[in-house]
Amino acid sequence: MSKYIFNILAIICIGVVFLYSCSSSPSIEWEKTIDWSVIDEAANIIQTKDGGYIILAKKNVATTLVKLNDTGDVLWVKEIGDDYSEVPNAILQTKDGEFIVVGAKYGISRDTQDFWLVKLSESGDVIWDTLYDAGANREAAIDLAITDDGDYIVLGEKLNYVNDTFENNFWISKIDNNGKILWSKVMGGSGMDTPVFISKTEAGTFIIEGKTYSEDGDVPGEMFDKSWDSYDIWSVEIDIHGSVVNSKRKHGNYYIEQNPQLIDGNAYITVGSKWSGSAMEGSVDLSIEKTDLYMNHIWTKNIEKPGKDEPIAIKKTKDGGYIVLASVFLEGKYGSEIKKRIIKLEPDL
């Protein structure tokens, strides 16, 4: 290698390091809280086409939508079900402005669970509501993405109890705008493979990631750490037909429990909890972290607020910022109160 080329490479490496070292965490643009009387539990949040937001939640036993404006004020609340057995996991706005909710629904005895999808109008009215059963003990839809042709790639899990052991796999389906399955496939190994998210790339493919304990089947390679409490990340990229474009194992050293999202195909954003203070008088705050694809740190944002915060979801917004949804436990006049906290972060600097 010539001295000139070596110097150029060195300058590039220094530039990359300098860029990451200079990256600072974004400031809070606004924040709001939603009282427990509006919703009990929350599962997810997305930004809508009008610049506002939708929270996917539960109120008593009903799956519920909460529509917010662009500064977090509640515009309307809509119950879309009244069944305690529904477990909503994710929501997405379609190209025509309507919504798709995915999750799971328990059977009467709660021993079985099926893959659940419901399509809603822009105002939250049910258009269709469908269950899918792949014959496993339990199935659940976890996340979804829109295809260029207006259909959906739905990421789910299929759990079976076989020979006194649990076997969990990725269940991936393409579903059209009327709820019809166009194709479906199960991927994984003989261990527990738990899907976490799906993200569409600029090339029109889909990256799916989750936890894996398998060393066979569709999962490549061997465990990095064979300790009983260790896991790896399985990252698989598929095309619109479900064919595998790329499949790789990553060391499980980013906090997959911290609601990770892949943003712009080149970075992870996570929101987790950070304990501060003493064991008796400490507090639980939100900790947001951005890393590159190789888990190198870009920035961390700790949000210290009254009460104990439990992270639910984080999503990138259209302006390059982030919207964070969390539960907050506050001590009030009549004891502990549980509210939902929404925090809008400005774009990265």
Poorest-pLDDT segment among 34-38, 185-189, 233-237? 34-38
**pLDDT at 7 > cutoff 50:** no
Residues 67, 75 contacting (CB under 8 angstroms): yes
What residues are paired with 323 via a beta bridge? Answer: 315, 344
* Cβ-based burial of 341 (10 A; exposed 0-12, middle 13-18, buried ≥19): buried
Rounded average pLDDT over 297-320: 91
For the chain, domains (ranges, CATH) are: 85-253 (2.115.10.20)
pTM of this structure = 0.87
Average pLDDT over residues 244-268: 82
pLDDT at 256 over 70: no
Within 10 angstroms of residue 108's Cβ, the number of other Cβ atoms is 7
**pLDDT confidence of residue 139:** 86
d(CA 90, CA 315): 12
Given a cut of 60, is residue 4 above it in pLDDT?
no
**Of 74, 69, 172, 175, nearest in space to 119 by CA:** 175
pLDDT tens for each residue of 114-151? 889 999 999 999 999 999 887 777 889 999 999 999 99
Q: How far apart are CA 254 and CA 269, in angstroms?
A: 10
DSSP string, 77-143: EEE----TTEEEEEEEE-TTS-EEEEEEEE-TTSS-EEEEEEEE-TTS-EEEEEEE--SSSEEEEEE
Give the mean pLDDT of 332-343.
80
- Where residue 8 falls among pLDDT bands split at 50, 70, 90? very low
Distance CA 107, CA 131 (A): 11
Residue 23 has pLDDT above 90, yes or no: no
Residue of 172, 180, 173, 174 whose CA lies nearest to 148: 174
Q: What is the pLDDT of residue 111?
A: 65
